[in-house]
A and B are shown apart, each in its own frame.
Chain A
Amino acid sequence: MGHSPTAQSSNPVVLQAHEVCKTVMMSAQPLHILKSASLQVQQAESLAIVGASGSGKSTLLGLLAGLDVPTSGSIQLLQHKLEKLTEDQRAQVRAQHVGFVFQSFQLLPNLTALENVMLPLEIVSSHDVKERAVAMLKSVGLGERMQHYPRQLSGGEQQRVALARAFVCEPDVLFADEPTGNLDTDTGERIIELLFQLNHNRKTTLILVTHDRTLAARCDRTLLMSAGELAAAS
């Protein structure tokens, strides 16, 4: 089946998925994680994909971000057809256009907050790496904790570092996987606030996966993932 939920505004389309399927073999039996999912996202739009645990929403996020390839179907991120690219070419696309925020923060424990934020800039060998990272950390309110290691920071602070790291490269599209999943309600709300503020200021396209209804409600659009199938949320 599969809907093709489209956006309302007239902004250019930055991401388009067409009948994307993902099947893996489990004990010699095919397991269909995604069944013909299609969607379209426009520039500066925010899209939430909600669904129960195990519904396939993180798998879809990985495919949309080019971290994995679909079994069938096509995904176009900006002008790149992801399924036609090699892993290294997809890496290049990620480097140029994509940012990530994860449920488990994925900060490197042996790097300070500042070094964690500097890392993606160093990879694309930008100028003023340190200055930009410092400014970014200040903008998420961690100006005083830049030299702290992740283990010295609270969960909310760690996620703020992760947000700073995601936005510092000024990505065209930001993918977030359960960004509030590991946080208590209050902290989660503050992080949501920050995320949307940054998103708004920078005109970033935001695609997030969550089962947090409050978070989903903040987005322009919500899609519901259920047993590998995608539908427009009511």
Chain B
Amino acid sequence: MNTTANTSMLALALRMLKRDWTSGHMTVLLIALLVAVTTHTTISFLTTRIHNGMEAQAASLMGGDLVVSSPRPTPDAWREQADKLAIRHAQTLEFSSVVFAGDNMLLSAIKAVSDHYPLHTPLKISDGAFEPEYSSDRGPAAGTVWVEKRLMAELNVAVGDSVDIGDATFRVEKVLTFEPDRSGNFYSFVPRVMMHWDDVPATQVIQPGSRLDYYAQFAGTAESILKLREAISAQLEPGHRILTVHSQQRTVSGALRRAEGYLRLASLMAILLAAVAIAMGAHYFSRQQFDTAALLRCFGLSSRQILQLFIWQLVSLALLGGLLGGALGWIFHFVAIAMLASLLPANIPLPSLLPIATGCLLALVLLLGFALPALTQLQRTPPLRVLRRDLTPAPLSRQISYAFTLGLVTLLMAWYVKDIVLIVAIVGGVLGAALLTFALSAIFMRLLNVLGKTSPVSVQAGLRNVSRRGVSTRIQLLGFGLTGMAMLMVILVRTELISTWQNQLPEQAPNHFALNVLPDDAPRFESFLQQNQVVSQPLYPVIRGRLTHINQQAVQQAASKEDNDPGERDAPEALNRELNLSFAPDLPSDNRLLAGQWWNEMPASDERLLSIEERLAERLQVKLGDELSFFVANQTFSARVVSIRSVKWESFQPNFYMLFRPGDLDDLPTTYLTSFHMDASQKGLLKALAQQFPAVSVLEVDAILARVKGILAQVSAAVEFILLFVLAAGLTITIATLITTMPERFREGALMRTLGATSRQLRLQQWSEFFAIGLLAGLVASAGAELARIALYWKIFDLSYTPALWIWIIVPPLMGLLIGIAGHWSSRKILGQSPLIVLRDT
């Protein structure tokens, strides 16, 4: 076909689009499209911004947008690249050293920081132990150190005094009260001393073999950071590790990971709902166009031209819907941001306009993908239909049509969520729901007829309608069922996500860790806490030890395997650092046994037995039955792995990578640790505690807890807000579904009224029909949601699945009621309309 003909076809398509628009036949299609695109763009804009906000907060916990750790000084080339990309950077070095003050000495965690440190969140310091704290966006100047209160107490120094580190002497200038990027290891109980980067050489403490942790920190725009990250990734050497938000803060990362998963799920659900609605709208539109298509063919359009005409209409509609939906999404996302303002960091940069482009693309894919199968039917309209209205075009083969739609849904999801498990879960759920719909509906319809026998005549008529409109009923069932399923999943997952988060950090979450409780002090320490009504965890024994061999193979070799694969690592520092080993008679309450057996299920034996945490086991490729060797206080011993546990690190309760059987560590030097909750009003007790138990180190984690709680509150709010959108989408689509089946109901209603049916009879009939459809759709939704949830919980959200029996009891009647109300509302006009007009129009 030549260009002129194409152009005139486009012009004709646009004119027809405009006319169809005024007729309202396209309204359903456009509303569904708008809902889809608006939801997509709103969620895209919002998640981008929330994500940016959350990443920014998380980045401040990490010390930069990009942080690379290394056991050696990092290459200057990285910083030169950063300068070129206008990225700010800083360096820190962490090591342990003894700090001297006169005759007193204390092992301390030294941190040397370069000029531009900290990059994100300021430090907090005070001018004296009891002075108010304030922010500082730089570290100590050369020749001075900032120290924690604990160190001042133990070394008996005050601000202005001198301390020695190695060969250098420093003046204590400030008290360090908050350090944003203090590593997430809550068990590091030695006090912090912060010094300037340039002073390190003078101390002479850096010797070959020293255990050193260098951190190169970078902060800049997401785009430039990405560039730098790519450049650095290419230059990584063994020992270099790119730290990410996910690798650093388990609690935050767990929440972030689940929130991301949830937001993806919600977006996907909205898109699926839209796809269903569009397929329905197109089906409706297509049926309305049979006569037009027949007439156009009669007037001389070829079948190809007919298809072209409708494709042009779809493309124009997609563009219109894409742009309009994009604009709405842009506006709505501001509303959402305003609602979340108190939870979000200020000045999150505006998101790019990319979602508008993807929104248009989405509209095009949705329309062409889901509407085209219905519209290809028009292409086959026999022109003879103008003489014989009973001739309807042959629909596309059902198998082809379903396979095409399913394929497209899968592709769409792959493009959208890029998460194979999520896709498999949803496709499985949808397929399961579809199969169920068709299997159950046949049985259910028969049951309805049997049940109907004893009901009033109008109810019987309504119930008969359900089975009489076989195909139409099944399509509606699938539509309502999928809508219900999507909303159920979103609601169920949200409820459990939020309650998991809340349970994770109960009001009385421990906010202090007490370490180094000596065995002799232990009973007294416990009673001290009890007497002062401090809620505490039990005392856990701790033996500091280093993992040396796995099955007689040195651990350093195992570690080097990891270094061959540089990049994001969630590896605990277990390989090189000392580990806290512990023993326990019972499995800790928040642990779960994943493999093997607990001691009490095993026969007595002489060998030492241990249980290992699952992620560490995975990292070290340790299996049940492996032999691990440890070096503790100048002795080496081995133990056999007899179980693998999962551990809730985010619980803020003492937890251990390695748990031994009681008695297996008896001959080793043991101290105890615990965590406890102390209100602000109880803080005074800390001083008494320090006096009575001078050896005990207390770590206050209030600040970290507060930050984590803030992030969780923010994520929960985001989740709730996005739920509203999915609900709105579901509602619109339910009404759209009803509208598409309305013409037939209108005609039947008018006929029945002509034959003398009363309004009450019609109402009863409508109610019973819609209620039955809703009831069955509720069953389909419950089944589909449960199927998908099993897979989701298992793989994505890391939540334990429990069957939600209540949904089977509540959802079907509830959906029956809702569909009944919606159906009755949308067909109320049947009752008011003159039968003559309806019959003449149809």
Q: In the complex, what distance in Å separates the CA atom of A58 from the CA atom of B15?
A: 32
Q: Residue of A at shortest CB range from B303?
A: A88
Q: A110-B25, A125-B8, A177-B387 are in contact. Are A91 and B840 (CB under 8 A)?
A: no
Q: Residue of A at shortest CB range from B24?
A: A110
Out of B5, B23, B303, B383, name the residue touching A110 (CB < 8 Å).
Answer: B23
B3-24 interface bits toward A, Cβ cutoff 8 Å, 1 = contact, 0 = none: 0010010011001000110111
Query: Is A135 an interface residue, CB under 8 A from the partner?
Result: no
Q: Residue of B at shortest CB range from A89?
A: B302
Q: Which residues of A contact B841 (CB under 8 A)?
A: 109, 151
Contact in complex: A102, B23 (CB < 8 Å): no
Contact in complex: B303, A106 (CB < 8 Å): no
Contact in complex: A94, B384 (CB < 8 Å): no
Out of B12, B303, B389, name the residue touching A122 (CB < 8 Å).
Answer: B12
Q: In the complex, what distance in Å separates the CA atom of A92 from the CA atom of B19?
A: 25
Q: In the complex, what distance in Å separates the CA atom of A110 from the CA atom of B24?
A: 9
Out of B12, B15, B22, B295, name the residue touching A108 (CB < 8 Å).
Answer: B295
Q: A108-B295, A110-B25, A151-B841 are in contact. Are A123 and B301 (CB under 8 A)?
A: yes
Q: A100-B298, A123-B12 are in contact. Are A106 and B19 (CB under 8 A)?
A: no
Contact in complex: B301, A95 (CB < 8 Å): yes
Out of B5, B20, B22, B298, name the residue touching A94 (CB < 8 Å).
Answer: B298
Out of A96, A109, A177, name the residue touching B300 (CB < 8 Å).
Answer: A96
Q: Which residues of B contact A2 (CB under 8 A)?
A: none
CB distance from A220 to the nearest CB of B (A): 23
Contact in complex: B384, A68 (CB < 8 Å): yes
Contact in complex: B299, A87 (CB < 8 Å): no
Contact in complex: A109, B387 (CB < 8 Å): no
Q: Which residues of B contact A100 (CB under 8 A)?
A: 298, 386
Q: Residue of B at shortest CB range from A118?
A: B15
Query: Is B524 an interface residue, CB under 8 A from the partner?
Result: no
Q: In the complex, what distance in Å separates the CA atom of A108 from the CA atom of B23?
A: 10
Query: Is A13 an interface residue, CB under 8 A from the partner?
Result: no
Out of A95, A111, A124, name the residue touching B19 (CB < 8 Å).
Answer: A111
Contact in complex: A123, B386 (CB < 8 Å): no
Q: Tell me which of A67, A87, A94 has the highest count of chain B C-beta atoms within 10 A of its own C-beta.
A: A67
Query: Is B308 an interface residue, CB under 8 A from the partner?
Result: no
Q: Which residues of A contact B386 (CB under 8 A)?
A: 67, 100, 102, 106
In the A-B complex, list the 8 residue pairs whose CB atoms are closest, starting with the nearest.
Answer: A95-B300, A110-B23, A88-B302, A125-B8, A94-B300, A120-B299, A67-B384, A67-B383
Instruction: Provide a sorted-by-A list of 26 A–B residue pairs whose CB atoms are within 8 angstroms.
Output: A58-B387, A61-B387, A62-B387, A67-B382, A67-B384, A67-B387, A68-B382, A68-B384, A88-B304, A91-B300, A91-B383, A94-B383, A98-B300, A100-B298, A102-B386, A106-B291, A106-B386, A108-B291, A109-B23, A110-B20, A110-B23, A110-B24, A111-B19, A115-B19, A123-B299, A125-B5
User: What 8 additional pairs, Cβ within 8 angstroms, besides A67-B384, A110-B19, A122-B8?
Assistant: A67-B383, A91-B300, A106-B386, A110-B22, A111-B23, A125-B8, A125-B11, A125-B12
Q: In the complex, what distance in Å separates the CA atom of A92 from the CA atom of B388?
A: 21
Query: Is B155 an interface residue, CB under 8 A from the partner?
Result: no
Contact in complex: A91, B302 (CB < 8 Å): yes
B162-176 interface bits toward A, Cβ cutoff 8 Å, 1 = contact, 0 = none: 000000000000000
Q: A62-B384, A67-B384, A95-B299 are in contact. Are A104 and B389 (CB under 8 A)?
A: yes
CB distance from B383 to the nearest CB of A (A): 5
Q: In the complex, what distance in Å separates the CA atom of A104 from the CA atom of B385?
A: 12
CB distance from B10 to the nearest CB of A (A): 11
Query: Is A219 an interface residue, CB under 8 A from the partner?
Result: no
Query: Is A119 an interface residue, CB under 8 A from the partner?
Result: yes
Contact in complex: A91, B297 (CB < 8 Å): yes
Q: Which residues of B contact A67 (CB under 8 A)?
A: 298, 382-384, 386-387
Contact in complex: A151, B302 (CB < 8 Å): no
Counting contact residues on chain B (CB < 8 A from A), the size range is 20 to 34
Tell me the residues in window 301-358 of chain B with beta carbons closer than 8 Å to chain A beta carbons.
301-304
Query: Is B534 an interface residue, CB under 8 A from the partner?
Result: no
Out of A98, A102, A108, A111, name the residue touching B387 (CB < 8 Å).
Answer: A102
List B residues at the A interface (Cβ < 8 Å). 5, 8, 11-12, 15, 19-20, 22-25, 291-292, 295-304, 382-384, 386-389, 840-841
Q: Which residues of B contact A95 (CB under 8 A)?
A: 299-301
Q: In the complex, what distance in Å separates the CA atom of A111 from the CA atom of B388?
A: 22
Q: Which residues of A contact B20 (CB under 8 A)?
A: 110
CB distance from A184 to the nearest CB of B (A): 15
List A residues at the B interface (Cβ < 8 Å). 58, 61-62, 67-68, 87-88, 91-96, 98, 100, 102, 104, 106, 108-111, 115, 119-120, 122-125, 151, 177
Q: Which residues of A contact B298 (CB under 8 A)?
A: 67, 94, 100
Q: Which residues of B contact A108 (CB under 8 A)?
A: 291-292, 295
Contact in complex: B300, A87 (CB < 8 Å): no
Q: Which residues of A contact B296 (CB under 8 A)?
A: 119, 123
Q: In the complex, what distance in Å separates the CA atom of A204 from the CA atom of B509?
A: 93
CB distance from B57 to the nearest CB of A (A): 54
CB distance from B798 to the nearest CB of A (A): 53
CB distance from A74 to the nearest CB of B (A): 19
Q: Which residues of B contact A88 (CB under 8 A)?
A: 302-304
CB distance from B632 to the nearest CB of A (A): 85
Q: In the complex, what distance in Å separates the CA atom of A116 from the CA atom of B248?
A: 69
Q: Which residues of A contact B301 (CB under 8 A)?
A: 91, 95, 123
Q: In the complex, what distance in Å separates the CA atom of A7 from the CA atom of B605?
A: 116
CB distance from B765 to the nearest CB of A (A): 27
Out of B300, B387, B389, name the residue touching A92 (CB < 8 Å).
Answer: B300
Q: Which residues of B contact A123 (CB under 8 A)?
A: 12, 296, 299-301
Contact in complex: B8, A94 (CB < 8 Å): no
Q: Which residues of B contact A87 (CB under 8 A)?
A: 302-303, 383
CB distance from A207 to the nearest CB of B (A): 13
Q: In the complex, what distance in Å separates the CA atom of A96 from the CA atom of B299?
A: 9
Contact in complex: B302, A94 (CB < 8 Å): no
Q: Residue of B at shortest CB range from A115?
A: B19
Q: In the complex, what distance in Å separates the CA atom of A61 from the CA atom of B12?
A: 29
Q: In the complex, what distance in Å separates the CA atom of A96 from the CA atom of B295?
A: 15
Q: Residue of B at shortest CB range from A102?
A: B386
Q: Which residues of A contact B291 (CB under 8 A)?
A: 106, 108
Q: Which residues of B contact A122 (CB under 8 A)?
A: 8, 11-12, 15
CB distance from B386 to the nearest CB of A (A): 6
Q: A106-B291, A109-B841 are in contact. Are A119 and B387 (CB under 8 A)?
A: no
Q: Which residues of A contact B387 (CB under 8 A)?
A: 58, 61-62, 67, 102, 177
Q: In the complex, what distance in Å separates the CA atom of A129 from the CA atom of B357?
A: 37
CB distance from A71 to the nearest CB of B (A): 14
Out of A68, A96, A119, A151, name the residue touching B840 (CB < 8 Å).
Answer: A151
Q: In the complex, what distance in Å separates the CA atom of A123 from the CA atom of B383?
A: 15
Q: In the complex, what distance in Å separates the CA atom of A98 from the CA atom of B297?
A: 12
Q: In the complex, what distance in Å separates the CA atom of A110 from the CA atom of B26?
A: 11
Q: Residue of A at shortest CB range from B22?
A: A110
Q: Which residues of A contact B383 (CB under 8 A)?
A: 67-68, 87, 91, 94
Q: A68-B384, A104-B389, A122-B12 are in contact. Are A94 and B304 (CB under 8 A)?
A: no
Q: Residue of B at shortest CB range from A149?
A: B23
Q: Which residues of A contact B303 (CB under 8 A)?
A: 87-88, 91
CB distance from A133 to the nearest CB of B (A): 13
Contact in complex: B389, A124 (CB < 8 Å): no
Q: Which residues of B contact A151 (CB under 8 A)?
A: 840-841
CB distance from A170 to the nearest CB of B (A): 14
CB distance from A95 to the nearest CB of B (A): 2
Q: In the complex, what distance in Å separates the CA atom of A111 from the CA atom of B12?
A: 13
Q: Which residues of A contact B300 (CB under 8 A)?
A: 91-96, 98, 120, 123-124
Q: Which residues of B contact A109 (CB under 8 A)?
A: 23, 841
Q: In the complex, what distance in Å separates the CA atom of A94 from the CA atom of B384?
A: 12
Q: Residue of B at shortest CB range from A69?
A: B384
Q: Residue of A at shortest CB range from B7?
A: A125
Q: Which residues of B contact A62 (CB under 8 A)?
A: 384, 387-388
Q: Which residues of B contact A125 (CB under 8 A)?
A: 5, 8, 11-12
Q: Residue of A at shortest CB range from B297?
A: A91
Q: Residue of A at shortest CB range from B12?
A: A122
Q: Residue of B at shortest CB range from A110?
A: B23
